[in-house]
Structure 1
């Protein structure tokens, strides 16, 4: 569990608050099964369509892989960083409650997720918040899949 308690927000924060605003305790930790279901519900409200049993399967694969960000004990962010094995991870489920977006808490949980996956190749699912939703709910909007690869080189 990571607990961040700071007197001042970090500089460079692209948030709407003054840099001298005190920051409350923000805790990042693995989600319980009930908290994970709460994050699945958030995903549905964001317009995502997670599979009915996907979260349970991924949580079984890596019980430490679904993380929650808790501000003063209340969950305000989630991310998945599921390690399949020593070579591969998959990131997704990155959600920050709308009223906390731009506060820096999302960046912190994302950095924690990346640390959880250190040393592995990573797949990443990104959902564009600016996409247009079609009027026909049976026909989903077109999507774009981009495949990226990276190779570590000795320097």
Structure 2
């Protein structure tokens, strides 16, 4: 096995251990392992995800958002990052941002089960906040499109119309 393969195997094992620790609510241990990992590997999108999850658990939402935005800079096509942002905005009662980032997660995901899960979440957001789609419908001036399905809006329009979304 080459050194590169050994390093990749090591990285996967450490990251798996980090997420296991987070899942078991062993946050301090996860933080310690993250610190050790970062001494070896400088930048890793999955570590940004782990850090953001820890921040969400610790209710440090602004810091979680910062890590997720840094993850977008590393890979702006990563569906997990957008999913996590959608969740972050959902728990912070910002349904418009939540819906938007879930939509991006759906757009970039290749996992049909995740896409289905996101669709259910979005439908629940619409049910709880029907103005998400009403606002989109009003601003697009297109009454032929159904406000019960927000998937028709353009990402560029949404970025212009949704306030306070500053990814970069």
What's the TM-score, normalizing by structure 2? 0.28
**Which has the higher relative contact order, 1 or 2, with Cα contacts under 8 A spaced 6 or more apart?**
1
Structure 1 or 2: more helix by fraction: 2
Structure 1 or 2: more strand by fraction: 1
